[in-house]
Amino acid sequence: MRKRLSVLIPGLILIAVGTAVFAQFQSGSYGSTQTNSIEQTVPPQLAQDGNFSVAPFPSFVPELAEGEGRAETQDFCTTCHSTRYITMQPPLPAPTWDAEVNKMIKTFGASIPEATAKEIISYLQEHYTPENRKH
């Protein structure tokens, strides 16, 4: 009887340990049958047509004063910024407008023909100085 138990107990222990080790392999997804398998969700599908719509940016474009040279000012002074840069200035003395237009050309690289630049300067000097600015 004792001899039988001495075989049976180690045998049962061996089976228990074996089952526990096997259970370890099964839990998780890195068992010997599924090496390196990491489960991830499928990434969301991207839009295929790439069509997006954006509403117009709400920017205020002020009316410039009526007068000769207005069209040129509107054409040449709106390449980089709106005419708001003109109207948001305080009334500037005539020589300051001259310097301002020349700064746009020389410093910031505005490409404005010389004759047109002169027309723009006269226009600004006739409508945007402390003596004549109306609004």
- Contacts with ligand HEC, residue ranges (CB under 6 A): 76-77, 79-81, 85-86, 89, 100-101, 103-104, 108-110, 112, 120
Please, which residue, 65 or 86, has the CB nearer to ligand HEC?
Answer: 86
Please, which residue, 41 or 59, has the CB nearer to ligand HEC?
Answer: 59
Amino acid at 23: A
Please, which residue, 13 or 103, has the CB nearer to ligand HEC?
Answer: 103
d(CA 77, CA 115): 15
- Smallest distance from the beta carbon of 107 to ligand HEC, in angstroms? 8
**Three-point CA angle 53, 56, 57, nearest 5°:** 120
Please, which residue, 11 or 91, has the CB nearer to ligand HEC?
Answer: 91
- Smallest distance from the beta carbon of 57 to ligand HEC, in angstroms? 17
| Four-point Cα dihedral 51, 57, 62, 66, nearest 10 | 0
Provide the token pair at 43: 């990434």
d(CA 59, CA 78): 13
- Smallest distance from the beta carbon of 69 to ligand HEC, in angstroms? 10
**Three-point CA angle 17, 23, 25, nearest 5°:** 110
- Smallest distance from the beta carbon of 47 to ligand HEC, in angstroms? 36
Amino acid at 54: V
